[in-house]
Structure 1
């Protein structure tokens, strides 16, 4: 089973940069997309692009135009789709979309960024607190779940460059990292990418400034997060950097799953 997550920073922009041509070659079972920055009625104007053949396509838009939004492309039709995480505040921003196939859930998640100031950082903490209950519910229900997306947090020093200097910035704040510690250590959720040995300097997001992409001055903030009952299911991982579709790179993970 191959699952891809990609923050496209505008799905129409990514399409022009070759994202869908690349996607067609991947034979992914589920594709989780974040930051579509479009309303579904706008995408229906080009159905052959944004509703690719061979996939059942689902979008959860933000109410605000040109902002946020997530999507799922599923090769097998899901039994059900859950739109939103059950929060009036954050569902209006289009941040969570879940497909259910029997006991397996695959979700596209876009956690808020707090980098624009204290108000958005406070919103990010509210979203984290609420989403923790979503994760608990998935786990206690015994579901197998893969939550893919832009979590907007680098977990450990090896997940970003210049980690000492970045400890005071959103995305690497002590409280944010402690929250991931709680998920991965206390609750037993799994960072799928770290299930296998990795080379150093593996990142998924690069600032558009300071030539960061070419210099590989990045952060790893895009994850596949697994419920504990999927521990040991990862077969292969890849951060795709041969082409650049946005300020994030797609994360491709293959799973041992019947």
Structure 2
């Protein structure tokens, strides 16, 4: 099973840059896109419904703002829109999940706290609620793959010139601590790092006024520990630029039932 995830900075722009032509050549079973910046009714053109895939979208209800999508070759048994946090803070990002017999795959766009409309307090409330959700679902007899833009990097090797960014949002001590807990205590695995230990692997190059950007690895496929030994191959595609993020491609020794 091949899963690709990409944060697109606007799906129309990414399509114009050739994203769907590239995806057609990748033989992916599932494609998870984030930050569509489009409402579902704006995606009725055939380019956004590639042949051979079932297409699912979850928009923000606001034009030009967030939204996620999942493309799946196989028809899922169920769809879940949002996490359903009692606080409602999950609506500050977006989450869409497809369920199969024994596995669930989600497309996640987390609040970044990097814009004037998003606060660090909201971001960390989102992650506190997400942590409680992950603990709860870990008791289920089901495996999970959470694909998306997590809006933070984990270790120094995941940020170019890491010392320069230690005080920056997305690499703050409490954000890194949250990821440490996710991967050491909550029984989840960073699928990419399971098979790829290269230090210069970055998935996001934020725009800067100078035009020079340090790379960050903020786009993950977070998987249940039960799937850790099923990861066969992981790479970040760098030959084309569809957005400020790069596609993450991971192959699993799995068949969807």
Q: What's the secondary structure of 2:167's corresponding residue? A: coil
Alignment of 1:55-94 (within 5 A): 55-87=53-85, 89-93=88-92
Alignment of 1:20-39 (within 5 A): 20-39=20-39
Shift of residue 117, structure 1, vs aligned partner:
5.5
Alignment of 1:98-113 (within 5 A): 98-113=97-112
* Contact 1:70 1:94 (8 Å CA) reproduced: no
Deviations 1:164-204 (A, max 9, x none): 22111110011111111111001121000100143221000
Alignment of 1:44-193 (within 5 A): 44=44, 46=45, 48-87=46-85, 89-93=88-92, 95-116=94-115, 120-193=119-192
Q: Distance in 2 between matches of 1:179 and 1:118?
A: 22
Is there any run of 5+ residues in structure 1 with no aligned partner, and where?
none
Q: What's the secondary structure of 1:206's corresponding residue? A: coil
Shift of residue 90, structure 1, vs aligned partner:
3.9
Q: Distance in 1 between matches of 2:103 and 2:97?
A: 10
From 196, 218, 222, the counterpart of 2:219: 222
Distance change (3 Å), C-alpha of 1:101 and 1:218? same
Q: What's the secondary structure of 2:105's corresponding residue? A: strand
* Contact 1:64 1:93 (8 Å CA) reproduced: no
Distance change (3 Å), C-alpha of 1:129 and 1:91? closer
Shift of residue 134, structure 1, vs aligned partner:
2.2
Q: Distance in 2 between matches of 1:199 and 1:178?
A: 22
The alignment of Structure 1 onto Structure 2 pairs a total of residues equal to 253
Shift of residue 130, structure 1, vs aligned partner:
1.1
Q: Distance in 2 between matches of 1:119 and 1:249?
A: 23
Shift of residue 153, structure 1, vs aligned partner:
0.8
Does residue 231 (structure 1) correspond to residue 228 (structure 2)? The answer is yes
Q: Distance in 2 between matches of 1:128 and 1:224?
A: 16
* Contact 2:11 2:38 (8 Å CA) reproduced: yes
Shift of residue 251, structure 1, vs aligned partner:
0.1
| TM-score where L is the length of structure 2 | 0.94
* Contact 2:90 2:126 (8 Å CA) reproduced: no
Distance change (3 Å), C-alpha of 1:189 and 1:220? same
Q: What's the secondary structure of 2:162's corresponding residue? A: coil
Is there any run of 5+ residues in structure 2 with no aligned partner, and where?
none
* Contact 1:5 1:251 (8 Å CA) reproduced: yes
* Contact 1:98 1:108 (8 Å CA) reproduced: yes
* Contact 1:107 1:148 (8 Å CA) reproduced: yes
* Contact 1:205 1:248 (8 Å CA) reproduced: yes
Could you say what the CA RMSD is over the residues aligned between the two structures, in angstroms? 1.5
